[in-house]
Structure 1
Amino acid sequence: MLALDIRADGPIDTSSRELAQLAAGVRRNWPQLPSPIALEWSDRPVVAMDRGVPWLYGPVDRDPLMGQGGPAVLPRRQRKQLEEVAASGPRFDGVAVAHELDPDGPVRSLLPLLRNGARPCTDEVARELVGPAPAHPGVVRAARLLDSLFGGAALATAAGALDVLLDPIVFGVLAPAPLVPGTPSLWFPLAVWRW
C-alpha cells in the first residue's frame, strides 16, 4: 500500500523551504525514487491511522520483526530492490519500516485513541500489535508440497503466520537537519510487499 500518508501529530508543512529544497534535489539527482511523504521522525515506534487503516511505523532498529541478524523475513525481490537503491540512490539519514495492522487484532482497543492523532508506543506494544514473524516463503512452499502429499494440516499451520502481517513498507528517510525526534523529514517508500 504505497498510499500511506500517516501524519505524526498533524500534518507537516511540506511547503517548508528546507523540505521543498531537499525534495527537489532528490528528484533531480535520483528521479527513479518514488515520491516521498512528509512525517516527523520518531526514535520510537508510532501507531497511527491512515484513511481508516491502522499502521505502526518507526526506525528499522526498533522494528518488531527485526532480529539480531536483520529482518526475520525479507523476500528476495524486495532485497534486490533495496540493494539497487543502496548502490545508486542517495545516502539516507535513516531507514524506517511501516506495518499495516489488522483493525480486528490487538490494535482494536487503541482505535478510539488514534482518532486524536498518532501515538508513540513501547517496543513491547509494537511487537504485540504487529504479531509474530511470518513463515519464510520457502517454509510455505514446503508446506504446500506436504499438503499435496498428505493433505491439509501443514499448509494451514504455515499459512496462519502469513495472515498476520499485511503490508510492510521499507522507507529511506532524508531530513534537512539531523534526525532527532520531531524532525520534519521525507520518507521515500523503497520496498513493499504483501504477505
Structure 2
Amino acid sequence: MTSTVRKAPRTLARCAQAAIAVAAVTDVLRAAAVRDHYLHPTDASLHKSGFISMVFLYLMTLAIVLFLVWLAWSRRNAQELSPQASVPSRGWTIGAWFIPVLNFFVPRQSVLGIGRASSASWQEKRDTTLVNLWWAAWIAHALVLTAAGWVAQGSMAFLVVAEALMIAAAVLVGLVIERVTALQSAALGATVPVAPLAQA
C-alpha cells in the first residue's frame, strides 16, 4: 500500500513567477502607450494603446489566476505541515483579495500566516520584511495610479514612479513565491512517510 505524498507546487510557482514578470513588463509598455496617446492623440496611438492594454489585461488576469492557485495550494500544504497554526481558510485566502478595504491588508496577513506555518525555518525578521516590502510596493503602486488619475494624468513623474513600483512589486512577489515554495519543499521532503515493511 502506497501513500500519496503532497509536494510543493514548484511548477505552478515558476508559471506564476513568469506570468507576473511578463505582465509587469507589459504594464510598462501599456502605461507608455497610454501616456503617448493622451499627449498626442491619433488613430494610430489609440489603436496601439488599446491593443497593448488588452494584451496587458489578459496577461494580468493569467498572472492573478496562477498566483491565487499557487497561494491556495501553498495554504493547503501549510495547514498539513502545521495543523495547529493559524492558517486562513481556503475561501478567505482567495476571497479577501476581492473585498474592498479588506484587500488592503488581509491578503498580506494570509501570506504571512502561510509562510510561518510552512516551516520552522521561516525567519521572522527577514521573511516578514520581504513580504512587507512586496505589499508596500503593491499598495503604493495602486495609490500612485489613483493619484495620477485625479491630479496629474499624463505626468511622466507619476508614470515613472508607478511603473517602478509595479516592477518592484513583481520582483518581490516572485521572491515571496520562491521562499514559501522552497520552505514547503524542504519541509515536505523531510516528512515523506516510510513505506510499511512487507509481511514475512
TM-score (norm 2): 0.27
TM-score (norm 1): 0.28
Which structure features the higher share of strand residues?
1
